[in-house]
Amino acid sequence: MTSMLSRSPFPAILRNAEGSGSGGGETPAPENILFPNEETSPESDLGAGDQDHASAENHEAAKPEGNADSDPDDRVPDDGRYSLTMPEGIEVDQELVEALGPDFHEMGLTNRQAQQLADRFIEIQGRRGKAAGEAWAGRVQGWADEARKDRDIGGAKWGGTVGSAQRALSRLGTPALREYLNTSGGGNHPELIRIFAKVGSMIQEDNPPNGGAGGHGRKAETAHLMFPKDAPKG
């Protein structure tokens, strides 16, 4: 059964098996620099411990009662249709299960054996998902720590940097951008904080006009202030 598992496209069958979170809340979520009142980490799927427990429950539920010959789960489905039961939070790609049914049937797998393979895969992916979530959280927190120590935007300048970056996002950002930064953790990246802070410092209410000591003339365009060497197009 191990060789069959390695050849079968189970990751596509179990769409949510590999969680991206820390699993059961064991790993602290990284801080959220630009949106401190919002959760930075994306929603996680079942943690490894939860999946192990759920898989064990599946096995208990799958045990035959009485004569094994009378239990449909212990027979190879004549029509090649397999029915897999997943733990809560894990979705089965039924279309793909039906496509693989003839292959399972040809290999002589009973429905119980197919279920055992699925349960084992969930257990393995749960551990992998937990490790991936911990690595992701560590990277996002590392970005925040790096930004806070940056000589240009961190240290004594950190409070002003964050305030300017938040002002830029408040004035120019969209809900879609906010969602992306929170989901990806990109809002903690030093370079994104740097550019948002620069934009925020240019859009203050009292931004002075550019055009002479008398204050006459039009305000400088933000793009020109950010990239003064670029000549206007058109």
Q: Could you list the pLDDT tens digit for every one of the 234 residues in the chain? A: 333 333 333 444 444 444 444 344 466 788 999 988 877 655 444 444 454 445 445 544 444 444 445 687 888 888 888 888 888 888 877 887 888 788 888 889 998 998 888 888 888 988 999 999 999 999 999 999 999 999 999 999 999 999 999 999 999 999 999 999 999 999 999 999 999 999 999 987 555 545 444 444 455 555 554 555 555 555
Residue 16: predicted pLDDT: 43
Residue 38: predicted pLDDT: 79
* CA 17-114-79 angle, 5° bins: 125
DSSP-derived 3-state class of residue 14: strand
Give the predicted TM-score (pTM) of the model: 0.59
Residue 179: predicted pLDDT: 93
SS3 breakdown of the chain: % helix, strand, coil, rounded to 5?
A: 55, 0, 40
Residue 155: predicted pLDDT: 96
Identify which of 194, 219, 193, 189 has the alpha carbon closest to the alpha carbon of residue 204. 219
Let me know: does 226 contact 232? Beta carbons within 8 Å.
no
Residue 143: predicted pLDDT: 96
Domain residue extents for the chain = 2-205
